[in-house]
């Protein structure tokens, strides 16, 4: 590749090395150091005048330093008269802050986008942005690559009897992503909803109805799939019924059985009363955002209270694949897996995501959970070697080929839209 330089930042040197290897080039020499006072110093060891420059920098645990490093690197290349600078950011940092959370929240992802453009980036390449709308934050072109095809390929090859497995979203917000994967694998999907406010009454109602539903479900299962031809103008449209709601209670982030829950009754009553008082004080209130954002990480405080977890869909006797764009905190994954395994009869539970952030002891907790069979992520985010060795459930899919191909095509001015489907699983 003539007139092309690839710089690899410190955040994820391993991925950068793999991408360069695939491209058949060496990473361009540069020294990334820190002064004693904590400032980052960047020196580019090769001429970039009139060259096509790619800077690979992902998120990492010391995220702010690496963002600064990326900005300085881009700015240095701009100062060195590079023709075009592309920031390759496999896992876009701060991408969870892509909308106003709560009131008066900052849209930090947009700010970061502005910073990148200010520093001099002409083009941004990323993978599975938390919300695809983030592409609109930039005034320069953004290519959002998909990890989905690689994950789908892994599922096809490694999940036993995948045609009968179910893709599950652990919160309603992620359902869109889940249905896309389910459609591409041509399998069914389900959804989990964790609920903080619902009163005990409804739970006991559900408990009574559960018996009924179980019966109904078993009937359904016998003659599944129930395909009824649409009887009206659209004859080609078939309707498939996927009935079944499963509810269980969650205490401290873990599913508790129906029989052993007496000790929690009193606590539950208290929280119910509190709940009813607070909801009475806003008789007509409520907002989409006021309910704690179900997309995102639960704080330790919230985990203390009792919640209801509901599976909408049917996973009985099948493998369940929990899909999300990133694994950050373990709580919701573990409770979802426990619920499906213990109460809903799932055979095996896989946890699949594009970005494995594994903050804190997330990986260890996922490892410890009996309900989770395997954890699958791509290598967009660096994972500590030590943790990697210790882990038995973790599977890492290499996506460096996608980034390498994207860089190659971009450099030669070829279309990268093929990467979105066919080539992506190479």
Partner 1 sequence: MATNSIKLLAPDIHRGLAELVAKRLGLKLTDCNLKRDSNGEVTFSIAESVRDQDIYIITQVGSGHVNDRVLELLIMINASKTASARRITVVIPNFPYARQDRKDKSRAPITAKLMADMLTTAGCNHVITMDLHASQIQGFFDVPVDNLYAEPSVVRYIKEHINHKDAIIISPDAGGAKRASLLSDRLNLNFALIHKERAQANEVSRMVLVGDVTDKICIIVDDMADTCGTLAKAADVLLKNHAKSVIAIVTHGILSGKAIENINNSKLDRVVCTNTVPFEQKMKLCPKLDVIDISSVLAESIRRLHNGESISYLFKNNPL
Q: Is 289 in the site for partner 1 (CB under 8 A)?
A: yes
Nearer to partner 1, 132 or 391 (CB): 132
Q: 70 to 89, contacts with partner 1 by CB under 8 A? A: none
Q: Is 413 in the site for partner 1 (CB under 8 A)?
A: no
- Identify the residue among 2, 104, 222, 389 touching partner 1 (CB under 8 A): 104
Beta-carbon contacts of residue 4 (< 8 Å; ≥ 6 apart):
25, 51, 52, 53, 54, 411
Q: Is 280 in the site for partner 1 (CB under 8 A)?
A: no
Buried b (16+ CB within 10 A) or exposed e, 152-191: bebbeeebeebeebbbbbbbeebbebbbbbbeebebbbbb
- Identify the residue among 230, 267, 317, 360 touching partner 1 (CB under 8 A): 230
Q: How far is the CB of 408 from partner 1 (least distance, A)?
A: 17
Q: Identify the three-state secondary structure at position 247.
A: strand
| Rounded Cα gap, residues 89 and 298, in angstroms | 26
Q: 127 to 156, contacts with partner 1 by CB under 8 A? A: 131-137, 142, 144
Q: 316 to 375, contacts with partner 1 by CB under 8 A? A: none
Q: Is 197 in the site for partner 1 (CB under 8 A)?
A: yes
Q: How far is the CB of 48 from partner 1 (least distance, A)?
A: 29
Burial of 277 (0-12, 13-18, 19+ CB in 10 A): exposed
Q: Is 118 in the site for partner 1 (CB under 8 A)?
A: no
Q: Is 303 in the site for partner 1 (CB under 8 A)?
A: no
Q: Is 414 in the site for partner 1 (CB under 8 A)?
A: no
- Identify the residue among 294, 303, 365, 391 touching partner 1 (CB under 8 A): 294
| Rounded Cα gap, residues 221 and 48, in angstroms | 64
Q: How far is the CB of 349 from partner 1 (least distance, A)?
A: 18
Q: Is 315 in the site for partner 1 (CB under 8 A)?
A: no
Q: Is 208 in the site for partner 1 (CB under 8 A)?
A: no
Nearer to partner 1, 36 or 284 (CB): 284
Beta-carbon contacts of residue 222 (< 8 Å; ≥ 6 apart):
none
Q: 246 to 265, contacts with partner 1 by CB under 8 A? A: none
Q: 167 to 196, contacts with partner 1 by CB under 8 A? A: 169, 171-173, 175-176, 178-179, 183, 186, 188-191, 193, 195-196
Q: Distance from CA of residue 418 to its chain's centroid?
A: 23
> How many residues interact with partner 1 (rule CB under 8 A)?
72
The secondary structure of 363-382 as a DSSP string is: HHHHHH-TTEEEEEEEBTS-
**Residue for token digits 């009824």?**
228
Task: Check the CA dihedral 213-214-215-220 and report its sign.
Answer: positive
Question: Across 267-348, where does the E strand assignment appear?
Answer: 307-312, 320-327
Q: How far is the CB of 127 from partner 1 (least distance, A)?
A: 14
Q: Identify the three-state secondary structure at position 396.
A: strand
């Amino acid at each position: 590749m003539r007139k092309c330089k690839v710089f690899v930042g410190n955040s994820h040197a391993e991925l950068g090395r793999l991408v360069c290897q695939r491209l058949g080039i060496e990473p361009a020499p540069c020294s990334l150091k820190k002064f004693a006072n904590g400032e980052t110093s960047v020196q580019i060891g090769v001429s970039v005048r009139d060259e096509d420059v790619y800077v690979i920098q992902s998120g990492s645990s010391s995220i702010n330093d690496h963002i600064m490093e990326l900005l300085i690197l881009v700015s240095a290349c701009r100062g060195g008269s590079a023709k075009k600078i592309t920031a390759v950011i496999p896992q876009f940092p701060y991408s969870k802050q892509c909308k106003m959370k709560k009131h008066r929240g900052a849209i930090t992802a947009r700010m970061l986008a502005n910073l990148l453009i200010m520093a001099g980036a002409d083009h941004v390449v990323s993978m599975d942005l938390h919300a695809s709308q983030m592409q609109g934050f930039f005034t320069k072109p953004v290519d959002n690559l998909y990890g989905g095809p690689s994950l789908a390929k892994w599922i096809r090859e490694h999940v036993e009897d995948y045609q009968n497995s179910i893709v599950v979203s652990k919160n309603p917000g992620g359902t869109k992503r889940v249905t896309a994967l389910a459609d591409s694998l041509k399998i069914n999907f389900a959804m989990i909803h964790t609920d903080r406010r619902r009163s005990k009454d409804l739970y006991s109602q559900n408990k009574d109805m559960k018996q009924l539903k179980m019966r109904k479900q078993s009937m359904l299962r016998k003659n599944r799939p129930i395909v009824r031809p649409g009887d009206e103008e659209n004859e080609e449209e078939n309707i498939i019924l996927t009935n079944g709601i499963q509810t269980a209670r969650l205490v401290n982030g873990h599913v508790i059985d129906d029989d052993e829950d007496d000790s929690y009754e009193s606590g539950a009553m208290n929280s119910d009363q509190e709940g009813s008082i607070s909801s009475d004080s806003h008789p007509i209130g409520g907002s989409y955002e006021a309910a704690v954002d179900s997309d995102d990480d639960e704080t330790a405080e919230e985990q203390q209270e009792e919640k209801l977890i509901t599976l909408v869909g049917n996973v009985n006797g099948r493998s369940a694949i929990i899909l999300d764009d990133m694994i950050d905190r373990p709580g919701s994954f573990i409770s979802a897996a426990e619920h499906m395994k213990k109460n809903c009869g799932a055979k095996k539970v896989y946890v699949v995501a594009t970005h494995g952030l594994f903050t804190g002891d997330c990986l260890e907790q996922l490892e410890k959970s009996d309900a989770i069979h395997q954890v699958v992520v791509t290598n967009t985010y660096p994972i500590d070697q030590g943790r990697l060795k210790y882990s038995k459930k973790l599977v890492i899919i290499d996506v460096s080929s996608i980034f390498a191909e994207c860089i190659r095509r971009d450099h030669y001015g070829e279309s990268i839209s093929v990467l979105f489907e066919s080539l992506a699983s190479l």
